């Protein structure tokens, strides 16, 4: 049995259970192997580990429209939904990048596949609404460089994706009057997804699902960066709350001492959730 | 495998997707004529192969193995696939690959899609066949630094490799330089880019591309003038153009010994380019957007700029985005894998009906007529009635001619004092081919 959490209202989480078999049936299909050059057999490129989450295939065959990472937050306003998606993509890239730097290309690959396979599809309409150019192929090209284990090509493709993400982020922020509060809202939405991931990762007092642990790590570290971009504005508005925000993020980061999970988790899922809830309480101070 | 009847020039060109080139790659009818452009961009139903190197499964399998074999390199560490990585659409994702000397190579690693349809190979077209091309990187001191003679000896000492060669070349079961290069070329000819959404539009599915992409197509064949060079199903005219990129690389000019062709490089195909960034011969442009911006506003003005290069294109941001959207439709949605096409022997320009003529025009990048009959002692006059600079060349037998830069309005005269079959081409636009048959002077004709 796997659990899923539904955010019922501010600071409240309800844990739901669903039969594992049902979830397995909803896992995205393994991408087909790409044919190797003639005579070389078949190379299976996409080694998607799956998240153990309900991911409904979109009509175009792309996952992420249902209950995957991209599927959450569907009720959010377009700007916030888009910002959340961008931050999750960046979170994946952060942790994927760490693994690439460690030479762990195969471990990194899921983190470069998930943004396109699980998140991008849910952002397509938002991108159009904000007049932001599509960057799906840039994401695919980036994951190809990881499959190819080509560091130089990876660096270039990564830079291209980062440029696209920065442009998208700027376009979203440009339409927000209270930018620092909007950033905190996006941060909170992303941290809630991190809590989901972490919950999936921890099982019986250990990190059972490394990819989910790494997802959560990437999301938290990305949010740490993001909130840092508005730190001065937050401090000017409410220094105490800004300090609490900072402390909350440090606390969350401490859950992830390294990209490789610790033997014993620094927090259990409920402790992690509690830390996110503390962050959420502080966000209200900047409305 | 199928052997076709020896095609006539126009038929051969149609098979190679060059109809528009021969007919003149203009910006097309106005208003937009979808039927016309569907014909121009229609995919072929077979892949060409040369008469002397038929594509067979065993040969392709051997070529694929050799493509991955680092024993072809000097130090045993570099294979063709080191730069032409299958996961990266048979290129390497970087502007210029690092050479063995630690410095970036001079030019971008080209992707290998649809090489079978080439008329010349390398960015500067210095290889006349895919077999010739295959030897280049292997023996280049900065690329693989290989010694093919030594590699052949090494491979010949490997029992399994010897068996593979025997299967691939039953008529000549030996590990030789020639067979090695033939196998590599045969493998490369199988790398045919798959159908994309645009091809579905070409086949008549109007919904296969969306409104922005259609707008991009209209710009591509209209106002933006891209189709002047990027034409045919592969979106290349196989010609050499200076497109105004900064840099010192003289490209085709060095190969031809022709100043007018300085800074010119072969028009790259636009198939599967989503997967092959960065772009241009020097890898200097990172994205499609950068490429469009270059043509719209960053072209370096100089005398060698291609006559086919549109000048001062005013494109709004929306139009640029539409062009990029269209370019995306020429690539697969997911990393492409080679399509399967039957191979057929093709001989470009053979058996064109020849007519007695002593003057040939070059309008719209086409020798007209395309094949002529002369008598020994007659002179051939080739008039450049085109808007572009040409470079008429004849290389043998027993005759070597280069017109130098033949500017619009220029005429050259070539005398033939020996009978024989000759082929004239344009060094800048190699799809231009003229068959010249020189017959002996009859006794009656020789008498005063």
Give DSSP secondary structure letters for B184-219.
HHHHHTT-BPPP-HHHHHHTT-GGGS-HHHHHHHHH
Domain A54-175 -> CATH class: mainly alpha
Which residues in chain B (294-333) have CB-CB distances under 8 A to chain A?
321, 324, 328, 331
> Hey, is the C-beta of A167 within 8 angstroms of any chain B C-beta?
no
Does A7 score more than 50 pLDDT? Answer: no
Q: Please, are residues B291 and B307 in contact by the beta-carbon 8 Å criterion?
A: no
Does A65 score more than 60 pLDDT? Answer: no
Comparing A89 with A3, which gets the higher pLDDT?
A: A89
> Hey, is the C-beta of B62 within 8 angstroms of any chain A C-beta?
yes
Whole-angstrom distance, CA of residue B305 vs CA of residue A32: 45
Q: Which of B85, B321, B335 is the closest to A150 by Cβ?
A: B85
> Hey, is the C-beta of A205 within 8 angstroms of any chain B C-beta?
no
> Hey, is the C-beta of A182 within 8 angstroms of any chain B C-beta?
no
> What percent of chain B stands above pLDDT 90?
86
> What percent of chain B stands above pLDDT 70?
91
Pairing, β B265-266 against β B343-345? unpaired
Tell me which H or E stretch contains B395: strand B392-395
Structural tokens at position A199: 């919950």
> Hey, is the C-beta of A45 within 8 angstroms of any chain B C-beta?
yes
Q: Which of B61, B88, B334 is the closest to A38 by Cβ?
A: B61
- Look at B93 and A38 and tell me if their CB atoms are within 8 Å: no
Structural tokens at position A42: 């078949």
- Give the closest-approach CA distance of A222 to chain B in angstroms: 26
ipTM of the prediction greater than 0.85, yes or no:
no
pLDDT digits (tens, 9 = 90+) for B246-305: 999 999 999 999 999 999 999 999 999 999 999 999 999 999 999 999 999 999 999 999
- Give the closest-approach CA distance of B321 to chain A in angstroms: 8
Q: What is the pLDDT along chain B (448 residues), one digit of tens a residue?
A: 333 333 333 333 333 333 333 333 444 445 799 999 999 999 999 999 999 999 999 999 999 999 999 999 999 999 999 999 999 999 999 999 999 999 999 999 999 999 999 999 999 999 999 999 999 999 999 999 999 999 999 999 999 999 999 999 999 999 999 999 999 999 999 999 999 999 999 999 999 999 999 999 999 999 999 999 999 999 999 999 999 999 999 999 999 999 999 999 999 999 999 999 999 999 999 999 999 999 999 999 999 999 999 887 899 999 999 999 999 999 999 999 999 889 888 766 556 789 999 999 999 999 999 999 999 999 999 999 999 999 999 998 889 999 999 999 999 999 999 999 999 999 999 999 999 999 998 766 555 5
- Give the closest-approach CA distance of B246 to chain A in angstroms: 21
Whole-angstrom distance, CA of residue B194 vs CA of residue B211: 23
Which residues in chain B (78-97) have CB-CB distances under 8 A to chain A?
81, 85-88, 92-95
Bridge partners, B301 (sequence order): none
Structural tokens at position B340: 């399967």
Residue A63 pLDDT class (50, 70, 90 cuts): very low
Q: Please, are residues B72 and B79 in contact by the beta-carbon 8 Å criterion?
A: yes
> Hey, is the C-beta of A124 within 8 angstroms of any chain B C-beta?
no
- Rounded to the nearest angstrom, the gap between the alpha carbon of residue A211 and the centroid of all alpha carbons in its chain is 11
Which of B68, B79, B87, B95 is best to mutate for the A interface (most A CBs within 10 A)? B87
- Look at B62 and A45 and tell me if their CB atoms are within 8 Å: no
Q: Please, are residues B128 and A183 in contact by the beta-carbon 8 Å criterion?
A: no
Selection from B324, B251, B250 nearest residue B285 by Cα: B324
Pairing, β B379-383 against β B411-415? antiparallel
Chain B residues with CB under 8 Å of A40 CB are 64-65, 68, 86
Match 């790398």 to its residue by tokens. Answer: B191
pLDDT digits (tens, 9 = 90+) for B317-353: 999 999 999 999 999 999 999 998 898 887 665 567 8
- Look at A145 and B86 and tell me if their CB atoms are within 8 Å: no
Can you say whether the dihedral through the CA atoms of B372, B375, B380, B385 is positive or negative?
Answer: negative
Domain boundaries, chain B: 24-45+194-328, 56-188, 355-446
> Hey, is the C-beta of A105 within 8 angstroms of any chain B C-beta?
no
**Do the domains B355-446 and B56-188 match in fold?**
no
Chain B residues with CB under 8 Å of A159 CB are 286
Bridge partners, A3 (sequence order): A17
**Which pLDDT does position A36 carry in this prediction?**
35
Whole-angstrom distance, CA of residue B53 vs CA of residue B43: 23
Q: What is the mean pLDDT of residues A246-262?
A: 97
Does domain B56-188 fall into CATH 3.30.70.20?
Answer: no
DSSP per position, B18-56: -HHHHH---S--SS--HHHHHHHTPPPSSEEE-TTS---
Chain A residues with CB under 8 Å of B98 CB are 152
Which of A37, A120, A133 is best to mutate for the B interface (most B CBs within 10 A)? A37
Q: Name the CATH architecture for the domain at B24-45+194-328.
A: Orthogonal Bundle (1.10)
Whole-angstrom distance, CA of residue B286 vs CA of residue B236: 20
Structural tokens at position B144: 């693989």
Chain A residues with CB under 8 Å of B81 CB are 37
Q: Which residue of A has its CA nearest to B112?
A: A37
Q: Which residues contact A25 (CB under 8 A, 6 or more apart)?
A: none
Selection from A220, A218, A28 nearest residue A118 by Cα: A28
Selection from B332, B333, B325, B331 nearest residue B213 by Cα: B325
For chain B, the first-to-last Cα distance in angstroms comes to 54
Which residues in chain B (335-354) have CB-CB distances under 8 A to chain A?
335, 337-338
3-state secondary structure of B412: strand
Is B402 exposed, middle or buried, given 0-12, 13-18 or 19+ CB atoms closer than 10 A?
A: middle
Structural tokens at position B75: 């130090």
Whole-angstrom distance, CA of residue B88 vs CA of residue B273: 10
pLDDT digits (tens, 9 = 90+) for A170-216: 999 999 999 999 999 999 999 999 999 999 999 999 999 999 999 99
Structural tokens at position B115: 């090489």
CATH code of domain B355-446: 2.60.40.420
Phi, psi of B411 (to 5 degrees): -125, 145
- Per DSSP, helices labelled H in A102-178 are 105-114, 121-129, 136-147, 151-173
């Amino acid at each position: 049995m796997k659990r899923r959490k539904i955010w019922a209202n501010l600071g409240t989480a309800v844990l739901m259970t669903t039969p594992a078999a049902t979830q397995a049936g909803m896992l995205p299909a393994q991408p087909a192997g790409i044919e190797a050059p003639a005579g070389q057999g078949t190379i299976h490129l996409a080694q998607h580990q799956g998240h153990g989450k309900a991911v409904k295939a979109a009509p175009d065959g792309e996952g992420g429209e249902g209950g995957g990472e991209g599927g959450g937050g569907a009720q959010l306003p377009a700007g916030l939904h888009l910002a959340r998606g961008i931050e999750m993509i960046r979170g994946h890239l952060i942790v994927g990048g760490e693994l690439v730097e460690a030479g762990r290309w195969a471990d990194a690959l899921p983190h470069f596949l998930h943004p396109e396979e699980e998140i991008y599809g849910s952002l397509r309409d938002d991108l159009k609404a904000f007049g932001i150019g599509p960057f799906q192929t840039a994401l695919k090209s980036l994951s190809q460089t990881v499959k190819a284990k080509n560091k130089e090509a990876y660096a270039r493709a990564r830079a291209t994706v980062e440029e696209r993400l920065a442009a998208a982020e700027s376009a979203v922020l440009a339409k927000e009057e209270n930018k620092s509060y909007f950033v905190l809202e996006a941060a909170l939405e992303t941290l809630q997804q991190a809590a989901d991931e972490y919950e999936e990762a921890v099982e019986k007092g250990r990190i059972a699902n490394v990819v989910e642990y790494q997802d959560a790590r990437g999301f938290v570290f990305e949010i740490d960066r993001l909130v840092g971009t508005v730190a001065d504005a937050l401090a000017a508005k409410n220094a105490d709350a800004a300090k609490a925000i900072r402390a909350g993020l440090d606390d969350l980061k401490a859950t992830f001492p390294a990209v490789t999970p610790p033997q014993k988790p620094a927090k259990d899922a409920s402790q992690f959730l509690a830390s996110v809830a503390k962050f959420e309480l502080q966000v209200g101070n900047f409305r | 495998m199928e052997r076709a009847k020896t095609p006539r020039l126009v038929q051969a060109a149609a098979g190679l997707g060059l109809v528009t080139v021969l007919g003149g790659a203009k910006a097309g009818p106005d208003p937009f004529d979808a039927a016309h452009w569907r014909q121009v961009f229609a995919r072929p139903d077979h892949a060409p192969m040369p008469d002397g190197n038929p594509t067979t499964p065993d040969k392709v399998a051997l070529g694929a193995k050799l493509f991955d074999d680092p024993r072809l390199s000097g130090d045993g560490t570099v294979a063709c696939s080191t730069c032409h990585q299958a996961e990266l659409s048979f290129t390497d994702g970087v502007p210029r690959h690092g050479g063995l000397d630690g410095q970036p190579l001079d030019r971008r690693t080209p992707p290998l899609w649809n090489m079978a349809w080439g008329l010349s190979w390398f960015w500067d077209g210095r290889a006349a066949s895919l077999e010739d091309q295959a030897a280049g990187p292997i023996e280049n001191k900065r690329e693989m630094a290989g010694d093919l003679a030594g590699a052949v000896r090494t491979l010949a000492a490997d029992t399994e490799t010897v068996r593979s060669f025997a299967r691939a070349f039953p008529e000549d079961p030996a590990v030789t330089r020639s067979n090695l290069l033939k196998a590599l070329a045969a493998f490369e000819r199988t790398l045919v880019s798959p159908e994309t959404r645009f091809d579905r539009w070409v086949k008549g599915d109007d919904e296969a591309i969306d409104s922005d992409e259609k707008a991009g197509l209209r710009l591509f064949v209209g106002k933006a003038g891209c189709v002047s060079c990027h034409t045919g199903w592969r979106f290349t005219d196989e010609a050499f153009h200076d497109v105004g990129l900064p840099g010192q690389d003289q490209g085709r000019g060095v190969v031809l010994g022709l100043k007018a062709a300085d800074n010119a490089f072969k028009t790259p195909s636009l198939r599967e380019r989503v997967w092959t960034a960065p772009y241009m011969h020097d890898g200097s442009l990172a994205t499609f957007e950068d490429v469009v911006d270059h043509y719209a506003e960053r072209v370096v003005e100089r005398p060698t700029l291609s006559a086919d290069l549109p000048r001062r294109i005013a494109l709004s941001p929306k139009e640029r985005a539409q062009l990029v959207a269209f370019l995306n439709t020429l690539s697969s949605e997911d990393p492409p894998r080679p399509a399967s096409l039957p191979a057929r022997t093709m001989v470009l320009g053979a058996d064109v009906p020849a007519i007695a003529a002593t003057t040939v025009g070059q309008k719209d990048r086409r020798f007209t007529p395309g094949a002529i009959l002369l008598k020994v002692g007659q002179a051939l006059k080739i008039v450049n009635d085109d808007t572009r600079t040409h470079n008429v060349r004849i290389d043998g037998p027993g005759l070597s001619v280069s017109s130098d830069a033949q500017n619009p309005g220029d005429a050259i005269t070539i005398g033939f004092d020996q009978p024989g079959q000759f082929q004239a081409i344009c060094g800048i636009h190699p799809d231009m081919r003229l068959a010249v048959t020189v017959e002996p002077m009859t006794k009656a004709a020789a008498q005063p």
